[in-house]
Amino acid sequence: MKNIFEELRFKMHDEDFEPRAGSEPTAARPGSLEKLHALAERAERGQPLWHPLDECILATVSEELEKAKYINKIFKQRIAERQHTRKAKHG
């Protein structure tokens, strides 16, 4: 399987899932939008989310605000996609 999401979709469990090796450390601060992107990319590639050499200094307030706006935008997009899918199914 490519990543944990495919593992769950096809096997309905993740008991024997093993992440792929090979993630590179990131200089993105924990909690920053850049760190979220790095984690998402690692998950998509089926790699461990955390690297021992990742940056460990916390995000700034402005980075937290930027992250909150991004997450809100993504949630709104996903809600709109689900509503569109439901409408298409139930027409």
Quote the tokens at residue 62.
Answer: 């402005």
DSSP string, 24-35: PP--PPTTSHHH
CB 31 within 8 A of CB 24: no
pLDDT one-digit tens code per residue, 45-85 = 888 888 888 888 877 888 888 888 988 998 899 899 888 88
Tokens 């590639």 locate to: 45
- What's the confidence (pLDDT) of residue 16? 67
Q: How many domains does the chain have?
A: 1
CB 55 within 8 A of CB 27: yes
Predicted local distance difference test score (pLDDT) of residue 8:
63
pLDDT for 17 equals 60
Say what the pLDDT of residue 37 is: 92
Tell me the residue range of the domain where 66 lies: 4-90
Cα(66)–Cα(13) distance, integer angstroms: 34
Minimum mean pLDDT range among 2-11, 34-43, 55-64 = 2-11
